[in-house]
């Protein structure tokens, strides 16, 4: 039986992911930080406040996310990766234009197995185009999201409270840190 274009696209994305991010599942919190000299964390609100309380604070959160995303991806396409967890090996239905990419068993407990299913959408990057998703992340209603360049060299993992950014070199990371120094954690490890 011939492979469909969708199968070929998923296989190519899987091969690229495994080459760029070996031994790592495509879920934001699985990426690791300490061993990577290309990682930086930005907080999404002043004074490292975790959750926005009003529209003014949501505007700050979205401005910070979109500013860094613009610097990383303007003029290119991105993969938007959104995980879902379930107690079934088959992927659940999604309510927006994404396609199922891959699934795996997270816990082999025979009484309570659970699976991770990652959905992906490839789209041109446009400022503000992911604001709805970023608001859900800010409210801790989405987790593990990754926004990646087409070559998977740069990754952006928004979380409730900020974003972890993985760049191509330590020099690129340092330039980004300098531009957004006021958004960095004051914790010595950068957390």
Q: What pLDDT, on the 0 to 100 scale, is given for residue 106?
A: 87
How far apart (Å, rounded) are the C-alpha atoms in residues 173 and 38? 6
Tokens 């185009």 sit at which residue? Answer: 129
Q: What pLDDT, on the 0 to 100 scale, is given for residue 4?
A: 78
How far apart (Å, rounded) are the C-alpha atoms in residues 178 and 99? 37
Q: What pLDDT, on the 0 to 100 scale, is given for residue 33?
A: 66
Per DSSP, which regions of 44-132 are E strands?
A: 77-86, 99-107, 114-124
Q: What is the pTM of this model?
A: 0.92
Q: Name residues whose C-beta falls within 8 Å of residue 27's C-beta, 6 or more positions apart in sequence.
A: 81, 83, 116, 118, 144, 146
Q: What are the tokens at 166?
A: 């993985």
pLDDT band at 3 (very low <50, low <70, confident <90, very high): low
Which of left, alpha, beta for 150 (phi over 0: left; psi -120 to 50: alpha)? alpha
Quick one: what percent of the chain has pLDDT higher than 90?
Answer: 73
Q: What pLDDT, on the 0 to 100 scale, is given for residue 7?
A: 82
Q: What are the helix (H) ranges across 76-140? A: 131-138
For residue 111, pLDDT over 90 is answered with no
Q: What is the mean pLDDT of the segment spanning 36-40?
A: 88
When mean pLDDT is compared across 20-34, 39-53, 135-149, the lowest value belongs to 20-34
CA atoms within 13 A on the CB side of 122: 11
Query: Who has greater pLDDT, 108 or 182?
Result: 182
Q: What is the mean pLDDT of the segment spanning 69-89?
A: 94
């Amino acid at each position: 039986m011939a492979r469909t274009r969708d199968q070929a696209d998923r296989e190519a994305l899987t091969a690229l992911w495994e080459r760029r991010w070996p031994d790592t599942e495509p879920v934001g919190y699985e990426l690791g930080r300490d061993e990577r000299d290309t990682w930086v964390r930005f907080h999404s609100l002043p004074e490292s406040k975790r959750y926005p309380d009003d529209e003014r604070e949501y505007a700050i959160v979205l401005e910070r996310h979109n500013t860094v995303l613009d610097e990383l991806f303007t003029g290119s396409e991105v993969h938007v990766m959104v995980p879902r967890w379930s107690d079934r090996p088959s992927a659940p239905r999604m309510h927006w234009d994404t396609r199922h990419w891959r699934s795996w068993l997270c816990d082999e407990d025979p009484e309570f197995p659970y699976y991770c299913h990652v959905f992906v959408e490839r789209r041109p990057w446009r400022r503000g185009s992911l604001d709805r998703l970023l608001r859900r992340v800010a409210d801790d209603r989405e987790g593990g999201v990754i926004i990646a360049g087409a070559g998977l060299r740069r990754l952006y993992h928004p979380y409730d409270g900020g974003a972890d950014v993985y760049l191509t070199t330590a020099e690129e990371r340092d330039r980004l840190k300098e531009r957004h120094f006021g958004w960095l954690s004051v914790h010595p490890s950068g957390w």
